[in-house]
Structure 1
């Protein structure tokens, strides 16, 4: 009986030691600490593509060991830059992905060893041109002053042939430095119910010149503002096409206050 008990105890102790060695073994792999960074550049202007935070991504594939790997996405920032500082040294394929631009081919053989700076050029579907704005103050009969933001723009298409239907033009307003589809004030009723959205759903031939890519019309928005002393408004206009992602091409961001 004692011999059998000793045998069982030795089996349990041995198994415990084996499990302990598995969990306390030294991990020889360093935490990922290399960085990818760069700019997404509008090919037609040579400047960074104006966007909204995480509207689209740089998609990467680690191809050092196999081509059949799952992708990772690096968000592109509002200023058209991207950066990820927690990657393993390896060879990668890369591609601007899911954005408001003509499809870009995946490129291979990007070697990451510490820091990799890689810029990409894209051609946007649309451009916001002739952008104007002003804050107009009017006085009601009871003496109350009302501020209204007036914005206007035209559209341009760098490539017209094969362009998906132009879907809509829309103003965006924010009380933070971030302004776009992901940062838009809901407290303003006109924004919340999309009263200021201009729905087009038209081909470029219907709204612009096929040869020059210049749009025929001026689009105007008038948006009632909430007076909020000390807060800075940011605003811009965006337009999109009816592709799979329906992401917006934007104007620059303007800043102003309503005291």
Structure 2
């Protein structure tokens, strides 16, 4: 008799467990969309980033609880972002982990449907691409490095002329044998900021490459590069 009761208890427990497993989740799938871009607050130019491991968007859903856990998603290399799988709600939105002065205030939104945001940031450095010329298999790249007022005085450490067969051409995607590094650790920042730099790179013939210049400083532990736009060169 005692054994029968045990069997009945086991059967009842299994029924409850199976029933709970078969219940349909009542939560709706996330379907709200957040898009936008990150630009230089003074020039309006895009803030290019490397991916993966570049700039991210941080979300805090403030109507969920009083101590929400942050959610993150990546910004695209061209400085734009798009996430189509977010729950409806109120959020504080902030770009983080980028080569710019951290924003002190998030943008607060009530997300329902699609929302587009623009973040204006002050980059740590501004890298300008000058003339890029091709002479046979040699590419000559000219560039300058500037620091906006208010962007701090972190030591400028290096600049790179990134070479890649893809249009990204960043620290996350480059040809290590062709990319040229300019070590600036031993050069005073005042000298760096007043110099027109020239890089000469020999590339394989009959191929196309993308070139982009990046520079960085000891701004924070992430040490992201500030980038120029990428240009395509065709080697005859």
Report if TM-score (shorter chain) is over 0.5: yes
**Structure 2: runs of 5+ lacking an equivalent:** none
Instruction: Report what 1:9 is aligned to.
Output: 7
Instruction: Report what 1:125 is aligned to.
Output: 124
CA deviation vs aligned residue, 1:162-187 (integer Å, no higher than 9, x gap): 3211111111011112211111013x
What is the CA distance between 1:232 and its match in structure 2? Answer: 2.5
Instruction: Report what 2:235 is aligned to.
Output: 258
Instruction: Report what 2:93 is aligned to.
Output: 94
What is the CA distance between 1:85 and its match in structure 2? Answer: 1.0
Instruction: Report what 1:116 is aligned to.
Output: 115
Instruction: Report what 2:23 is aligned to.
Output: 25
**Structure 1: runs of 5+ lacking an equivalent:** 138-146, 209-214
CA distance in 1, matches of 2:73, 2:105: 15
Stretch moving more, 42-51 or 166-175: 42-51
CA distance in 1, matches of 2:147, 2:66: 36
Q: Give secondary structure in 2 for the equivalent of 1:150.
A: strand
CA RMSD of aligned residues (A): 1.9
Q: Give secondary structure in 2 for the equivalent of 1:118.
A: strand
Measured at CA, do residues 127 and 35 of structure 1 come closer, stay the same or move farther in structure 2, by a change above 3 Å? Answer: same
Q: Structure 1 segments of 4 or more deviating over 6 A?
A: none
CA contact (8 A) 1:176 1:232 kept: no
CA deviation vs aligned residue, 1:30-67 (integer Å, no higher than 9, x gap): 12111111010111112322333342111111221234
Aligned length: 233
Instruction: Report what 1:237 is aligned to.
Output: 213
Which of structures 1 and 2 has the bigger CA Rg? 1
CA distance in 2, matches of 1:163, 1:172: 25
What is the CA distance between 1:119 and its match in structure 2? Answer: 1.1
Residue 149 (str. 1) matches residue 139 (str. 2)? yes
TM-score by length of 1: 0.83
CA distance in 2, matches of 1:203, 1:99: 24
Instruction: Report what 2:181 is aligned to.
Output: 197
Instruction: Report what 1:224 is aligned to.
Output: 202
Instruction: Report what 1:180 is aligned to.
Output: 170
Residue 43 (str. 1) matches residue 20 (str. 2)? no
CA distance in 2, matches of 1:219, 1:160: 24
CA distance in 2, matches of 1:95, 1:163: 24
